[in-house]
Amino acid sequence: MRVGDDAAWEAMWAPYDNETYARTLGFVPRGATVLDIGAGDLRLSRRLAEQARRVYAIERRPELLPATPLPPNLIVICADARTLPFPARIDTAVLLMRHCRHFALYRTKLEAAGCTRLITNARFGMDVECIDLSARPRPYDELAMGWYACRCGATGFVAGPPERLTSSTLEHITEVENCPECKHYGRISHRIA
Ligand SMILES: C[S@@+](CC[C@H](N)C(=O)[O-])C[C@H]1O[C@@H](n2cnc3c(N)ncnc32)[C@H](O)[C@@H]1O
């Protein structure tokens, strides 16, 4: 799915539409401590700060960061999120980056920091999902048939006999680990770490 993407896409800044932001904000509990990875010009970070206790916004391109005053609970860090140690006590992360090539790395770092909720469009592109990082994914090999989303960032469908296809097979997405693409995405993700 993302094998042919160029690193330049990942470095690009582009804001998302209001629907994407509304869906993202809908997943953030009031009082959360949020890490916004790739915060761009902080337009979403500011909205996150209205409902969160504290927001850490990481953006590596200094020219995008506005010089205007910030709310006191919004802490901006101009750094590379791949190498920056993540702050302790974050419970929610936001990763709006459709061309992200380092999903597995970010997920591993978030889990190590004790973060339990990842709100992202990095796996499904247009759709924003909320991943429970405290739930252990199933081994890919146990999935007989159906859609999967892997902890490495890959998504796909395991084919099976057509007679076993039901509407729930088509609607459900199973969280897995060790999918066939793990090797590829793991290599990209950990090259820079
Ligand atoms: C598609 S934009 C989204 C910006 C913002 N989240 C929004 O919705 O308005 C992705 C942003 O991630 C930043 N970014 C990409 N890789 C990064 C990294 N390793 N560390 C920090 N920021 C990064 C880019 O510079 C860009 O501003």
Give pLDDT tens digits for 38-47. 999 999 999 9
- β partners of residue 157: 147
CA distance 91 to 135: 14
What is the separation, in whole angstroms, between the first and last Cα of the chain?
22
Residue 2 covered by a domain: no
User: Ligand 1, residues 45, 96, 121, 189: which to mutate, most atoms within 8 A of Cβ?
Assistant: 96
- For the chain, the domain total comes to 1
Is the confidence at residue 139, as pLDDT, over 90?
yes
Question: What CATH code is carried by the domain that includes residue 85?
Answer: 3.40.50.150
**Atom 25 in ligand 1: which residue has the minimum CA distance?**
11
Task: State the chain's mean pLDDT as an integer.
Answer: 91
pLDDT tens figures, 22-31 = 999 999 999 9
Q: Report the candidate in 190, 172, 174, 171 with the shortest Cα–Cα distance to residue 182.
A: 190
Residues having CB within 6 Å of any atom of ligand 1: 10-11, 13-16, 38-40, 43-44, 58-61, 64, 80-82, 96-97
**Atom 11 in ligand 1: which residue has the minimum CA distance?**
38
pLDDT reported for residue 6: 61
Four-CA torsion 110, 148, 9, 103, nearest 10 degrees: 20
What contacts 189, CB < 8 A, 6 or more positions away?
101, 102, 103, 104, 105, 108, 152, 153
The SS3 of residue 21 is helix
Residue 1 covered by a domain: no
DSSP state of 164: G
pLDDT reported for residue 135: 95
**Atom 26 in ligand 1: which residue has the minimum CA distance?**
13
Tell me the CA distances in angstroms from 128 to 26, 96, 184, 192, one per residue in order. 10, 8, 23, 26
Is the confidence at residue 20, as pLDDT, over 80?
yes
Residue 94 covered by a domain: yes
pLDDT above 90 as % of the chain = 78
pLDDT reported for residue 162: 87
State the residue for tokens 């302790």.
88
Task: Kindly give the distance from the C-alpha atom of residue 30 to the centroid of ligand 1, in angstroms, as a whole number.
Answer: 24
**Domain with 76 in it:** 7-191
pLDDT class for 5, splitting at 50, 70, 90? low
Is the confidence at residue 2, as pLDDT, over 70?
no
Residue 143 covered by a domain: yes
pLDDT reported for residue 14: 87
